[in-house]
Amino acid sequence: MFLRSFNQIKTGKLTLSSTAQKLALKSTLENSRMDGGRSAVEISNTSENTAYIGDSTVSSTTGLPIAAGTSRVFPVQFGSADKIYVVGSGDVIIAEYF
């Protein structure tokens, strides 16, 4: 997979629920940086449950599964960073590459 070069990585924890939430750190959402250079987002599922990635309507039946104990990296195309959502149960760690 090709990733653009980056010069900053921000990491943090998200607590998942059955309600879809943006796959982004709170500081990124608050600072309107979603399209300000984020080139990729990585999710590390540290919970004991599967997390599911998709659009704003994602659910456990429609999302791409991220198994417990695994990680995935998603490239982010300009203009689409705020369209990645996640649902599940438990905590995940995310890394945003700027």
Computed over every residue of the chain, the mean pLDDT equals 86
Backbone angles phi and psi of 56, in degrees to 5: -65, -10
In Å, what is the CA distance from 76 to each residue of 14, 81, 83, 86, 88? Answer: 19, 6, 10, 15, 21
- Which of 22-26, 79-83, 85-89 has the highest average model confidence (pLDDT)? 85-89
pLDDT, tens only, 30-76: 766 555 677 888 999 999 999 999 999 999 999 999 999 999 998 88
The model carries a pTM of 0.85
- Euclidean distance between CA atoms 68 and 66, whole angstroms: 7
Q: Are 91 and 35 in contact (CB under 8 A)?
A: no
The residue among 93 and 8 whose pLDDT is bigger is 93
Q: Is the CB of residue 42 less than 8 Å from the CB of residue 95? A: yes
For residue 80, the model assigns a pLDDT of 63
Which domains occur in the chain, in start order?
9-97 (2.60.120.770)
